[in-house]
Amino acid sequence: EAAINRIAAGEVVERPASAAKELVENALDAGARRIEVAYADGGKTLLRVSDDGHGIRAEDLPLALSRHATSKIDGSDLLNIHSFGFRGEALASLGAVARLTVTSRHGTEDAAEISVRGGAPGPVRPAALRSGTRVELRDLFHATPARLKFLRSDRAETQALLDTLRRLAMAAPQVGFVVRDLSGGGDGRVVLRADPEAGEGAEALLGRLSRLIGKEFAENAVPILAEREGHHLSGFAALPTYSRGAAVAQYLFVNGRPVRDKLLTGALRAGYSDLLSRDRYPAAALFVSCDPMRVDVNVHPAKAEVRFRDPGLVRGLIVSGLRHCLAEAGH
Ligand code: ADP
Ligand code: MG
């Protein structure tokens, strides 16, 4: 069982950034309004995610750590997925490759915690926590030196971690995020702060994009809105006058999840087409949403690839949606 967990773990957890993605998605699934992330040494020695979500009952803590235990679907339809988590693998996997402690408080019940050492869960113990859940991961891959070797420098892991957190924060503008680097000891240094955005929909999103990509992006961005056969496109695309750092300002989401996908990136480029020149790149945060039955987000647990039932339709939606909205804005 411990060996199986370690093998499965490699699929879900490749590096601190993928661990953070799983933990933050769990917090969002739990209805968190505020999420705090703390890390040290690029997340290699410490990664901690605290939320104010609905928490886990003390008696459910051992179950939350076991493989294929999920409270989110009944297993009857793996394609019809509305929440982030659906595999029940993340916590089990993390427990297999790091020292893991989960502390949680459900409603007005007493808080409790459980720790996993060497893949074996210990007893549930009383703990102190005002509300929500705190998951702490220490010494990722300490028991698997071969894996540890594949981690990059602290600096590179920190960058990947922050990139992942930024994307998740864009997908949830009403949720507040604070990220601290504890490497120096003490209370650490706040490296990312995004307060919950007021308002809703596009207004909240633009506020969050201004915060995370920059004011210059937000001031140059036009709203994108299009629909095709039940597939919806929304978000913001900056006019090609915006170029600073724009090469990396491409954020794509499917049904609220950050994704990296060739089809979507290609469509983004095609939508800008002749507006692009040598030093002009598309800069956009685009959200595609459709019936979960029409997209498979389950291609690979750690990779953010997606597979649409009708890729041609989605490409067309993005290309024509972008062209139309950019043209309307006078470009
Ligand atoms: P999944 O998210 O696929 O269900 P996980 O291994 O990520 O699987 O989590 C297992 C279970 O633990 C979840 O189904 C949920 O019930 C519980 N859980 C994990 N993290 C949190 C959290 N931050 N708040 C509340 N419950 C959580
Ligand atoms: Mg999960």
Residue 81 confidence (pLDDT)? 47
Q: How many residues make up the chain in this entry? A: 331
Any ligand 1 atom below 6 A from CB of 85: yes
Span from the CA of 27 to the centroid of ligand 2 (angstroms) = 8
What is the 70 CA–ligand 1 centroid distance (Å)?
6
| Distance of CA 26 from the midpoint of ligand 2 (Å) | 5
The whole-model pTM stands at 0.90
Give me ligand 2 centre to Cα 175, in Å: 18
List beta partners, residue 331: none
Please report the pLDDT score of residue 186 as a whole number: 85
Matching residue, tokens 């140059």: 220
Chain centre distance of CA 263:
20
Looking at all shown ligands, the one closest to residue 24's CA atom is 1
> Could you give the C-alpha distances from 272 to 2, 38, 228, 328, in angstroms and in order?
50, 38, 19, 13
Any ligand 1 atom below 6 A from CB of 297: no
Residues of the chain with pLDDT under 50: 77-82, 85-86, 246
CA dihedral 316, 317, 323, 327 (to 10 degrees): 140
Q: Is the CB of 102 under 6 A from ligand 1?
A: no
Amino acid (1-letter code) at residue 265: T
Beta strands in the chain (DSSP E): 34-40, 46-51, 99-105, 112-117, 120-121, 125-126, 132-138, 176-181, 189-194, 221-228, 231-238, 250-254, 257-259, 283-289, 295-296, 307-308
Q: What is the whole-number distance in angstroms between the Cα of residue 311 and the centre of ligand 1?
A: 31
Cα–Cα distance measured from residue 163 to residue 169, given in angstroms and rounded to the nearest whole number? 10
**Biggest alpha carbon distance in the chain?**
64
In the beta sheet, which residues pair with residue 283?
Answer: 238
Q: Is the CB of 42 under 6 A from ligand 1?
A: no
Q: Which atom of ligand 1 is nearest to the CA of 25?
A: 2
Q: Residue 146 belongs to what H/E stretch?
A: helix 145-150
Among protein residues, the one with the nearest Cα to ligand 1's atom 4 is: 70
* Predicted local confidence at residue 118, as pLDDT: 79
Q: Return left, alpha or beta for 230; rule: phi > 0 is left, psi -120 to 50 is alpha, else beta.
A: left
DSSP line for 157-179: HHHHHHHHHHHHHHT-TTSEEEE
pLDDT of residue 329: 83
- Which atom of ligand 1 is the closest one to the Cα of 55? 25
41 touches ligand 1 (CB under 6 Å): no
User: Measured between alpha carbons, how far is 69 from 62 in angstroms, rounded to an integer?
Assistant: 10
Whether 80 is in the pocket of ligand 1, judged by its Cβ within 6 Å, is no
> Cα(210) to centroid of ligand 2, in Å?
29
Nearest Cα neighbor of 21 from 9, 11, 12 is 12
Comparing CA positions, the residue from 237, 232, 326 lying closest to residue 288 is 232
Pocket test for ligand 1, best of 26, 67, 78 (most atoms within 8 A of CB): 26
Instruction: For residue 49, give the ligand 1 atom closest to its CA.
Output: 23
The full set of domains in the chain, from first to last, is 2-194 (3.30.565.10), 210-328 (3.30.230.10)
Residues 6+ apart with CB under 8 A from 145: none
Q: Is the CB of 93 under 6 A from ligand 1?
A: no
**How many angstroms does the Cα of residue 3 sit away from the middle of ligand 1?**
22
Is the Cβ–Cβ distance between 307 and 298 less than 8 Å? no
